[in-house]
Chain A
Amino acid sequence: MAAEALGWWGVPLAVGAGAIRVSTPFLFVSLGEVVTETSGRINLGLEGTLVMGAMSGYAISFYTGSPWLGVLAAGIVGSLLGALHAGICSLPKVNDIAVGIALLLFGTGLAFFLGTPFVAPQAPNLPSIPLGFWSDVPQIQAALKVNVLFFIGVAAAPLLAWALRNTGVGLMIRMVGDNAEAARAMGYSPLTVRLWATCFGGFMAGVGGSFLSLYYPGSWSEGLSSGQGIIAVALVIFARWRPMYCLWASLLFGGAGALGPALQSVGISQGYYLFNAAPYVLTLVIMIIACSPDRTLAGAPGELSITK
């Protein structure tokens, strides 16, 4: 076995490669959610959006033969779900968290229902860039096959961070999210801004979902997502609503998610499921560290219902 050739070095390599591969959906979902939450609303339904994105992306790729059209379709479906969330939340006295949970269940259920015909057929997958061409070791070559979406996500993080500080749209989103009353007095409409911010969040989550079905693992099934959409929302809090922190946090969670398979590759199969739980344990630990009864979260948008 080639894995033995690398020995224990295979573990950090697999974790690193996993960090890149597994982190991509985290990255897209959390970057979208940063924008949504910065506008003062939380969309917990992104898990449903992610699964819908995965299903519709796969389906479109299957029918058209173009995985990129699939990604686009996933984004569009995602933004429609985002618009649905924002639309319902625009009604008076509607709680965004409850709507989010409802949409989470609705999204996954709908995806399973519509996705049944696509479980068996194989749709064309997204291409990747072989960055390991310089090495003869097949593990390194495999580990350094990086999908284009990852680079788009990595580029999107600083771009979003910049845009939130240096564009009128960015400042408007922050304004609406931190003090809706002030924004209204300045003539901005919080509901409209939140509608667009939630659509954007949905778009990104949809794209993140298409990565799952079109690249890694690369097929559509009901067990495709293991709660990435939910974890990504928690990750936004961990990242203190900053896009760059989302990037680092996504890599960290991706690496944790790759721990189980990596250990299995060197022959440690005992406790495989336990190691697979690493991201969830990490979520809990982070939440405990981040929360304190005496402190409100620094950097939290003032209008957010969970921090109010």
Chain B
Amino acid sequence: MSDAPGLEVVGVTKRFGDFAALSDVSLRLHPGTVHALLGENGAGKSTLVKCIMGFYHADAGELLLDGREIKVGNPRDAQQAGIGMVYQHFTLVPSMTILENLTMGLGFRPGRIDWKVERAKLTAFLDTMPFRVPIDRPVSSLAAGEKQKAEILKQLYLQAKLLILDEPTSVLTPQEADEMLGLIRSMATAGQLTVLIITHKFREVLAFADEVTVLRRGKQVGGGKVSELSVPEMARLMVGDQASRDHAGREEREPGEVMLALTGVQALDDAGGPALQGVDLTVRRGEIVGIAGVSGNGQTALVEVLGGQRRHQGAVTVGGEPFGATREEIARHNFALLPEEPLRNACVGRMSVGENMAFRSFDRAPIGSGVWVKRGALRRHARDLVERYNVRTTGIDAPIMTLSGGNVQRAVLGRELSGEVDVLVCANPVFGLDFSAVADIHGQIVAARNRGAAVLLVSEDLDELLELADRILVMSGGAIVYETKRESADRQSIGLHMAGHA
């Protein structure tokens, strides 16, 4: 293998209209190192790597690969220069095998493909790699960790010497993440690769990166050798000195009576396979029960069952009564739900912010009166929620799809929490949000718990659960496989159960 290259980014500026997404950002990747790019959502990390990959064209600045200036007009150019990127979403074709995917990546040959030759070529390549993937199963049947490895292998198979990883561990168990990053790191140390990794997890920066660059609001605000920086310093660089709203402090309180109970709940996934295989759990008043797990282990189906979006067998009770998520039951039990991807699962994108915020209450006083909806009351309700929950919008008449992800999340949470809440179900409530939004939303969830709501919090972010939950349940293969109290929670054993290894 040839040597890892060095890359210099000099004074890159990128504007979208009046908005400067990047202003005069420079960074230097030394050959054979792992460089972390740290920053909040919206800090410009993605914009920067998209400029490097040729998806965007920078307004100013240049790229130097091993000291020579290169022009990257499109992703193909980047690939030719030996720069490969692994995206947050998977880019392998789901219905095709890894062999087919990687062979097609090599370039287009219209005629017959000699699978014997291709297989031999790929096998020979894989023998030189530190990790292994099954090459003959359709990608759609692989676990997230295997897919992520396959994505990396694809880039290496396409001769990438400089690898850009965009939040590569968000879908992996802690063990898988450590394994994957460890392998990448060892390849860098061996001089085979130079790596730029986008992340917001300090743990990964400390454990696997040599150097770090911190971006905030499109500007480079600091960086250096990881060994010379502390976590508080990096955190301060990342969020700046702006005071985020305080977390609602969690009050010490004994949980009350059982509000939400699931017994032997089973459900099928979209492909007709088992998604939930007998889930038993209870959530009591005044406690947050966290559901940990690698995505794709039934969490989505669980939330869909609770939201009435998926048929199931087994008993779901709220407040001791059978619960089928009808509108009447939801209102009677003060049931609130913040599903994942709320714009898709809990909103009508083209309807206004105000209308979306009234979805729970438009048929009840004060907004509803007989068959009429009182626009005045609806608007007052919306304005009040926008204020209370810091929803940043151009107005309550704007279609909700024009809001940023964090503000859609705030708007839905505001709608769900606006009345009395006895049961709150949240799924990945802060996925992809920036620091201040995370603090806001976490505060609201804890405040609901403090007021006596029973909260079920489904999250793929273990740190979030360790911070918020009173009890953590681990879901694997469609069932609850492990339970631990917050005080005695141990990252290692949770991770093992997430992976289904214990």
Contact = CB atoms under 8 A, between A and B. Distances in A.
22 contacts: A166-B113, A166-B115, A167-B110, A167-B111, A167-B112, A167-B113, A168-B104, A169-B111, A171-B96, A171-B100, A171-B104, A174-B96, A181-B91, A186-B105, A294-B270, A294-B272, A294-B310, A295-B268, A295-B272, A296-B270, A299-B95, A302-B95
Interface string B89-109: 001111110001001110111
A302 B94 contact: yes
A178 interface: yes
Contacts of A183: 93
B112 A179 contact: no
Given A166-B115, A295-B270, A295-B271, A182 B100 contact: no
The 10 lowest CB-CB distance pairs between A and B, nearest first, are: A182-B91, A168-B109, A296-B270, A179-B93, A295-B272, A168-B110, A178-B93, A178-B95, A169-B110, A175-B93
B137 interface: no
B100 to A, nearest CB: 6
Interface string A280-308: 00000000000011111011011000000
Interface of A: 166-169, 171-172, 174-175, 178-179, 181-183, 185-188, 292-296, 298-299, 301-302
A51 B442 CA distance: 62
A9 B91 CA distance: 57
Contact of A185 (B91, B108, B311): B91
B93 A182 contact: yes
Contacts of A293: 311
Contacts of A186: 104-105
B76 interface: yes
B349 interface: no
Nearest to A165: B100
B104 A175 contact: yes
B75 interface: yes
A183 B91 CA distance: 8
A92 B111 CA distance: 31
Interface of B: 75-76, 91-96, 100, 103-105, 107-113, 115, 268, 270-272, 310-311
A172 B103 CA distance: 11
Q: Which of A174, A294, A295, A302 gathers most chain B CB within 10 Å?
A: A294
Nearest to A171: B104
B110 A187 contact: no
A175 B109 CA distance: 14
A260 to B, nearest CB: 36
Given A167-B111, A178-B96, A179-B92, 16 more contacts: A167-B110, A167-B112, A167-B113, A168-B109, A169-B110, A171-B103, A172-B108, A174-B95, A181-B91, A183-B93, A185-B75, A187-B75, A187-B76, A294-B270, A294-B310, A295-B272
Contacts of B310: 294
Contact of A166 (B107, B112, B268): B112
A298 B271 contact: yes
Given A169-B110, A172-B108, A175-B104, A294 B93 contact: no
A132 B95 CA distance: 44
Nearest to A292: B272
Nearest to B267: A294
Contacts of A171: 96, 100, 103-104, 113
A93 B277 CA distance: 41
Nearest to A181: B91
A181 B100 CA distance: 16
Contacts of A185: 75, 91
Nearest to A186: B105
Contact of B113 (A168, A298, A302): A168
A301 B94 CA distance: 9
Contact of B271 (A178, A181, A296): A296
Contacts of B111: 167-169
B108 A187 contact: yes
Q: Which of A179, A186, A188 gathers most chain B CB within 10 Å?
A: A186
